[in-house]
Amino acid sequence: MVTIADVHAAAARIKGFARHTPLLPLEPQIWLKPENLQVTGSFKFRGAYNAISSLDATTRAKGVVADSSGNHAQGVAAAAHMHGISATIVIPENAPQIKVDRTAAWGAEIIRCPNASDLRMQVAMDIRDTRGLEYIAPFDDARMIAGQGTIGLEILADLTDVKAVLVCVGGGGLLAGIATSIKAISPKTKVIGVEPELAADARESFYAKERRSWDASLVTRTICDGVRTQGIGELNFEIISRLVDDIITVSEDAVIEAMKHLFLETKLAVEPTGALTTAAIRSRVFTPTGKTVCIVSGGNYDPALLSKILT
């Protein structure tokens, strides 16, 4: 299991590289944690930098390989660039082009593959074995979980008496990490996962008390490309089952409305996945009973999509 000590160690590694993002008021008793303002525009940089910086020098020098629909790709590419090593990233064909371009801009080698998350992982594993590279998993990795858990440390350092933290969930790395840090320091604070109704494998797994997988044809229906994973990671599920209070779902319409609201009312331009937690509040799927923090996971949106939503 990932411990609070692991999260503190991750915080020390990423200090000076990852940004301590602020808490922004959305409405009375509701704050946003805008990880769209993070390096590479997403929380993924935290875990990626922690994972790469924790490697021994010999292993790190050989380079790394990862698979991702976009945000993890950018996080790994940026962290690898900062360490002066090579990065090879496997990206599915349906990933937003802006995420592909920004990954390439960090100097990473891009390899495209079909959309199934299990297939893209297999391609990355084959590259790992052929080239002798270190594989940086997008979520089912203790180093990634600890890195993402640093968000929880920042929340509790910046705000007292937090009643609930809402976190988007795809593969579960962000949710598992934040639950680890929040529950270790403030056990009474509720940690709630939020995912789209069209990709609700995490909620199904949570209530079935066993990992469930959804077919790629199902999870790719959602506009939230950052949570199109087909199932929660094994380590992540163990942590989530033990520490998370609930997992709830929101509609596609609610996500679109939340994106529009965040842009027009808070001046935050976020990707669909980044709007999931705000959507839960605004659609009243979740009713706050005190100070509540919504994680805005990322802002790497497709400009054409945002334009369409706004008009």
Whether residues 257 and 146 fall in one domain: yes
Q: pLDDT band for 120, please (50, 70, 90 cuts).
A: confident
Phi, psi (rounded to 5 degrees) for 255: -65, -45
| Closest C-alpha to 42, from 125, 119, 102 | 102
Whether residues 170 and 119 fall in one domain: no
Can you tell me the distance from the alpha carbon of 150 to that of 230, in angstroms, rounded to the nearest whole number?
25
Whether residues 95 and 217 fall in one domain: no
Can you tell me the distance from the alpha carbon of 44 to that of 145, in angstroms, rounded to the nearest whole number?
10
Q: H or E segment at 142?
A: helix 142-158
- Please identify, among 85, 111, 135, the residue that sits at the C-terminal boundary of a domain: 135
> What mean pLDDT do residues 241-247 have?
98
- Please identify, among 94, 115, 135, the residue that sits at the C-terminal boundary of a domain: 135
Whether residues 113 and 218 fall in one domain: no
CB distance 139 to 233 below 8 Å? yes
Whether residues 33 and 53 fall in one domain: no
Can you tell me the distance from the alpha carbon of 297 to that of 274, in angstroms, rounded to the nearest whole number?
4
pLDDT digits (tens, 9 = 90+) for 124-167: 999 999 999 999 999 999 999 999 999 999 999 999 999 999 99
> What mean pLDDT do residues 279-290 have?
97
Whether residues 82 and 231 fall in one domain: no
**Predicted local confidence at residue 239, as pLDDT:** 98
**Beta carbons within 8 Å of 71's beta carbon, 6+ residues apart:** 40, 41, 42, 43, 44, 99, 226, 297, 298, 300
Q: Residue 55's domain spans which residues? A: 46-135
Can you tell me the distance from the alpha carbon of 240 to that of 236, in angstroms, rounded to the nearest whole number?
6
pLDDT digits (tens, 9 = 90+) for 180-211: 999 999 999 999 999 999 999 999 999 999 99
Choice between 115 and 53, residue whose per-residue pLDDT is larger: 53
Pairing of strands 24-27, 30-34: antiparallel
**Predicted local confidence at residue 69, as pLDDT:** 78
**Predicted local confidence at residue 96, as pLDDT:** 81
Q: How far is CA 96 from CA 107, 115, 144, 199, 304, in A?
A: 18, 12, 23, 18, 10
Whether residues 126 and 177 fall in one domain: no
Can you tell me the distance from the alpha carbon of 157 to that of 159, in angstroms, rounded to the nearest whole number?
6
Q: How far is CA 155 from CA 3, 28, 139, 275, in A?
A: 17, 17, 21, 18
